[in-house]
Amino acid sequence: MRLVLSLASENIRLGTGGPFAAAVLSEQEGQLIAVGVNRVVASHCSLAHAEMLAIGLAQQRLGHYDLGEAVPGGCVLYTSTEPCAMCLGAIPWTGIKRLIIGARDADARAAGFDEGDKPRDWISAYARRGIKVATDLLRAEAAAILTEYVRSGGEIYGPRPVCQPIPISIQP
């Protein structure tokens, strides 16, 4: 997790992306397979979240879409912040066997990020799929990175707020 948090901080310092980073490691040996940092703004691509990039690079490096099949014992994904709705939905298709999280969803939302609509019981749903989840690893440090990003003037990006229709009446 320290590597992931260091990458997130460096991404802010260099101005190359948002305050998020992730890493894919082999579960049994702890071998680093791939890392990703958030590149949404820099790449002009809303899909360029740290988790998505780390997973995609790991899959390309290993030559297989299922990391659980490609690596004996499976893979673990470390992420600086709880995955947003998009990343949360993608992880089960990757073959990741374990997810380790730094900052919570509430920390990202407090910084101004819209994490999307996620099921309340997503950890139980992951467990049913054989994915173990551990939260709050170095949470204070991870949340501080989100705060630093906001303090430094980092761009808050995400879905546009939903506009509420304004009732109007048409007089005959």
Active-site residues: which are they? 51
**Helices 139-151 + 2-14 axis angle, to 10:** 0
Q: What is the 3-state secondary structure (H, E, C) of 12-33?
A: HHHCCCCCCEEEEEECCCCCEE
Spatial neighbors of 37 by CB under 8 A, at least 6 apart, are 7, 8, 10, 11, 16, 17, 20, 21, 22, 50, 53
